[in-house]
């Protein structure tokens, strides 16, 4: 439903799936469905609902040891806070997201995490931090054995570098 643009129906389906998982005691499935619901709520600009879902989801994802769920939830929470101008909260989530991204061993996921963290650093005026994260993200994105995350990080990375160089060209 999500890929067909049926976002409201996707929210309802993910809520139902999470309820079934909760009733059945399947916390891992609940984490995975709630990660999707968190993303869909963002797409619908229902940021308050997305924050609530993410804040409820994070401890559960951590308790079941779902590194993907933890990283995705932290990414989403950081992004929502950044959109709302709460850069300290955003940065805090990204600082926490780095460890699970590194632990997965996926260079693409780590590159995406660093690119997002670099974007947040740019927004906060931390040019040196942004440069370090974006340089590392670029190097990781060029490594072999690419994943979906690598493809996801390049468009974001290029947009952020463009914004960065326009704001502070002497930093390159």
Dist CA 24 CA 26 (whole Å): 6
pLDDT over threshold 50, residue 172: no
The DSSP call for residue 170 is G
**90 versus 5: which is more confidently predicted?**
90
Are 83 and 29 contained in the same domain? yes
CB atoms within 10 A of CB 25: 8
Residue 64: CB atoms within 10 A of its CB come to 16
Higher-pLDDT residue of 122, 51: 51
User: What are the structure tokens assigned to 62, written together?
Assistant: 């951590």
Same domain, 30 and 46: yes
Q: pTM higher than 0.85 for the full model? A: no
**Looking at residue 123, what is its pLDDT?**
87
Q: Could you report the per-residue pLDDT of 61-84, keeping only the tens digit for each?
A: 999 999 889 999 999 999 999 999
Same domain, 89 and 43: yes
Overall domain count for the chain: 2
- pLDDT score for 158: 59
Q: Is the domain of 47 the same as that of 132?
A: no
> Are residue 2 and residue 14 in the same domain, yes or no?
yes
Helix, strand or coil for residue 47? helix
Q: Decide if pLDDT at 122 tops 90.
A: no
CATH number at residue 7: 1.25.40.10
CA distance to 72, 86, 120, per residue, from 78 (Å):
10, 9, 9
Mean pLDDT of the chain: 84
If asked whether residues 13 and 58 sit together in one domain, one would say yes
For 91, other C-beta atoms within 10 Å of its C-beta total 20
pLDDT at 31 over 50: yes
pLDDT in tens, 89-116: 999 999 999 998 888 888 888 888 998 9
Using only the alpha carbons of the chain, give its radius of gyration: 17
Written as six digits, the tokens of 128 are 């040196």
Among residues 103, 127, 161, the one where a domain terminates is 103
Domain that residue 143 falls in: 105-172
Does 128 share its domain with 153? yes
Q: Would you call 159 helix, strand, or coil by DSSP?
A: helix
**Of residues 163 and 119, which shows the higher confidence score?**
119
In this structure, the answer to whether residues 129 and 156 fall within a common structural domain is yes
**pLDDT beyond 90 at 30:** yes
């Amino acid at each position: 439903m999500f890929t067909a643009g049926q976002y409201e129906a996707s929210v309802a389906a993910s809520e139902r799936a999470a309820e079934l998982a909760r009733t059945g005691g399947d916390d891992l499935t609940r984490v995975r469905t709630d990660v999707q619901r968190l993303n869909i709520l963002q797409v619908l600009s229902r940021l308050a609902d997305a924050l609530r879902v993410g804040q409820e989801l994070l401890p559960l994802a951590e308790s079941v040891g779902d590194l993907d769920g933890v990283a995705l939830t932290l990414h989403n929470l950081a992004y929502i806070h950044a959109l709302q101008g709460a850069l300290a909260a955003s940065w805090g989530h990204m600082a926490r997201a780095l460890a699970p991204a590194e632990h997965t061993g996926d260079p693409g996921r780590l590159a995406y995490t660093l690119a997002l963290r670099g974007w947040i650093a740019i927004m906060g005026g931390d040019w040196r931090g942004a440069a370090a994260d974006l340089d590392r993200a670029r190097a990781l994105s060029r490594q072999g054995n690419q994943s979906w995350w690598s493809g996801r990080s390049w468009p974001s990375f290029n947009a952020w570098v463009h914004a960065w160089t326009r704001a502070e060209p002497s930093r390159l």
